[in-house]
Structure 1
Amino acid sequence: MKIDLLGLEAFVGVAELASFTRAAEHLNLSQTAISHRVKKLEGSLGVQLFRRSHRDVVLTDDGATLLPKIKSMLAGMDAELERVRTQAVAKRQKLTLACLPTIAMDLLPQALRIFDAEHADVTVSVVDTSASEIGALVASGSVEFGLTIVAAGNHDLVTEALFSEDYVAVCPADHALAKRKQITWGDLVKEKLIRVNPQTANRFIVDQALGNRSETPNWAYEVQHTLTAFRLVREGLGLTIMPRSAVDALNDRAVAILPLSRPRISRTIGILSRRNVALSPLARDLCAAFKRKR
């Protein structure tokens, strides 16, 4: 005899609520459907489970004997199914990494698309934060690796360079400089400029490249995030300096991208990991995906 789970569920519902109508509502079924399930179960068992009247639904002796056993069996099945589900969730592998917000705009989604094609069952946790925070997270082992700006720092960490890119000027598409193929820092002297705060690696790189001229430009606005600076440019409040890949990722026709020289400023992005600590196979696969996109 096959176990009729739907019939057993209907039987318990009617028995506990003492009503076919209320049981049907509770199980989101029609009264006809639940009556059919109970009758089918009774036919399979060869016994009557309920005595029906216009007012009441009462368990027969056979029904009363069967009820606690069926409830226990169904509860056991629910518990076992939940155990299997919990184990399945626990078995899902997890990979945690950190990256710069500007990398999260462009390179990260591309690499994750490649990674997901081979590891759809892996949960990936991304901490998009500053370069200094990435270094601390990698050093502490809170993340397996980071995508950040290559720079001298902690000797317990090692960086593998991926690519280098220039910083460019970004201006509104209708700005007087927008049609230029290239500009110099001298062209920006009379322009309102927007920069990010001194705690960011991008700000440090620009200031270091400009040297004692870092305060010469007209820095009219200072913001926390590169994306905020970009939004201010769109509103016509000034120009900003951004890594080329970040501007490309935004793909916004409301702005123009201007190669910038004298001085030309660039940064190198790399994979930061702990020295003498091997990356997990999953981390190695994701790093390989980053390399494929660059």
Structure 2
Amino acid sequence: MMTTTETTEMAKSSPNPPANPALREERALPDLHALQTFLTVCEAGSMVLAAQRLGVSQSAVSQVIRSLEGEYGVQLFDRDVRPARPTRAGTILLEMADRLLAEARGVAEELRKSVRLDHAQLRLGCVDSFAATLGPALVRGLSRSARQLQLWSGLTPGLNAQLLGRELDLAICTEVPVADVKLAQRRLFSEHWVAVFPKGSAIAPMAEARELRHRVGGLPLIRYTQRSVIGQQVERFLRHIGVDAPRRFEFDATDPLLSLVAAGLGWAVTSPLCLWQSRAWVEEIDLVPLPPSRLGQRDFFLIYRGAEWSDIADDIARITCAVLERELVPAMRAMLPALPDDAIAPADIQTNPT
């Protein structure tokens, strides 16, 4: 019979079972390294040969086997014969370990294959003018590599916030968010601002954008609202060329803006892509090219987490460039003959930029 002192010492020396059930579950998981050692012993026919294959000492192999026997409460090898042979329990474990290790080896390759070939729930955000013009062709081009594709449109600030919050995987915006070392960015293309006037305004071409302030006369300026990035960018451009017009009409979208220009109620500064998005109005307006200037363009950027989406980013850049050059720009020039040749300039295609 144990004394009180002996019982106390055993309690101190015995490991306490973890209180958290999740920890008990984790402890019960198979040790793949130990199973690999056991499998090597069975294949080699002895612990000596297994140790040589594994590059460890015989005692290390023997310790792993005894640890497995202690964990499962069974004897895995009959040590009364030479060389030692698996017991019935050892034979059963051998079959189970072989299947388990084969599945474990396939995890890495299966994961790489899934990421490469099956981009489940690819979530792409685009500013409205991009989504409405280049969006369909981009979806068509990505459908071969993305089984589930969601295309969201909106304003740049909202898209950037959704990207940072991981609600989006990639975003096509006209401004980049606050610097984040985890985010990569690449410029897809640029477009120059153009002025639009009511049909028949007969505005002569300009050598410098600053001449615009003398050509508008008393015609009111119709603006994009300042809560949109395009509104802020156009406003910076107008200040840069010295246009200071009263604030009367402001809109979030191009359709109502062009409808007022078509109705003869004012003039506006917009972009070729916005014109194509709202091309129902182009026959009722006059397009006036604006000479290039420091703030006379807007850029489209693809923003994404480089460590996760570099391959898809390459696809998006290639598809966008191809659609612009082969489809969109030729169609725009056919409908808008006054559009300059350099009104839209695709960026040079690069893969995995740093």
- Scaled to the shorter chain, the TM-score interval is 0.5 to 0.7
Structure 1 Cα separation of the partners of residues 175 and 190 of structure 2: 10
Q: Could you tell me how far 1:92 is from its partner in structure 2?
A: 9.8
- Alpha carbons 1:108, 1:290 under 8 Å: kept: no
Q: Which runs of 5+ in 1 are unaligned?
A: 1-90
Which of the two has greater strand per residue? Answer: 1
Structure 2 Cα separation of the partners of residues 213 and 169 of structure 1: 13
- Alpha carbons 1:198, 1:204 under 8 Å: kept: yes
Q: Does 1:99 align with 2:130?
A: no
Q: Could you tell me how far 1:115 is from its partner in structure 2?
A: 3.0
- Alpha carbons 2:219, 2:267 under 8 Å: kept: yes
The Cα RMSD (Å) is 2.9
Partner residue of 2:347?
A: none
Q: Does 1:142 align with 2:170?
A: no
- Alpha carbons 2:176, 2:301 under 8 Å: kept: no
Partner residue of 2:296?
A: 265
Q: Does 1:238 align with 2:269?
A: no
Partner residue of 2:155?
A: 130
Structure 2 Cα separation of the partners of residues 253 and 164 of structure 1: 24
Letter in 1 for 2:231: R
Stretches of 4+ aligned residues off by more than 6 angstroms = 212-215
What are the superposed Cα offsets for residues 16-74 of structure 1, whole Å, 9 maximum, x if unpaired? xxxxxxxxxxxxxxxxxxxxxxxxxxxxxxxxxxxxxxxxxxxxxxxxxxxxxxxxxxx
Q: Could you tell me how far 1:140 is from its partner in structure 2?
A: 1.2
Q: Which runs of 5+ in 2 are unaligned?
A: 1-117, 325-354
Q: Could you tell me how far 1:168 is from its partner in structure 2?
A: 0.8
- Alpha carbons 1:185, 1:261 under 8 Å: kept: no
Q: Does 1:253 align with 2:280?
A: no
The number of residues matched between the two structures is: 199
Output aligned runs, 1:194-209, within 5 Å.
194-209=222-237
Per the alignment, in what secondary structure is the counterpart of residue 290 of structure 2? strand
Q: Could you tell me how far 1:189 is from its partner in structure 2?
A: 5.0
User: CA separation of 1:217/1:246 partners in 2, compared to 1, >3 Å: closer, same or farther?
Assistant: same
User: CA separation of 1:103/1:92 partners in 2, compared to 1, >3 Å: closer, same or farther?
Assistant: closer
User: CA separation of 1:175/1:123 partners in 2, compared to 1, >3 Å: closer, same or farther?
Assistant: farther
**Which of 228, 239, 244 matches 1:211?**
239
Per the alignment, in what secondary structure is the counterpart of residue 164 of structure 2? helix
TM-score normalised by structure 2 residue count: 0.49
Partner residue of 1:164?
A: 190
Identify which of structures 1 and 2 has the higher relative contact order when contacts are C-alpha pairs closer than 8 Å and 6+ apart.
Answer: 1
Per the alignment, in what secondary structure is the counterpart of residue 193 of structure 2? strand
User: CA separation of 1:233/1:109 partners in 2, compared to 1, >3 Å: closer, same or farther?
Assistant: farther
Identity %: 19
Partner residue of 2:45?
A: none
Partner residue of 1:81?
A: none
Per the alignment, in what secondary structure is the counterpart of residue 307 of structure 2? coil
Output aligned runs, 1:1-294, within 5 Å.
93-116=120-143, 118=144, 122-151=147-176, 153-156=178-181, 157-177=183-203, 180-182=204-206, 184-186=211-213, 187-211=215-239, 216-251=244-279, 252-261=282-291, 265-274=296-305, 276-279=306-309, 284-294=314-324
Structure ID, larger Rg: 2
TM-score normalised by structure 1 residue count: 0.58
Q: Could you tell me how far 1:199 is from its partner in structure 2?
A: 1.4
Letter in 2 for 1:153: V
- Alpha carbons 2:188, 2:317 under 8 Å: kept: no
What are the superposed Cα offsets for residues 205-250 of structure 1, whole Å, 9 maximum, x if unpaired? 1222333777712443012223321222222221111112221343
Structure 2 Cα separation of the partners of residues 282 and 161 of structure 1: 15
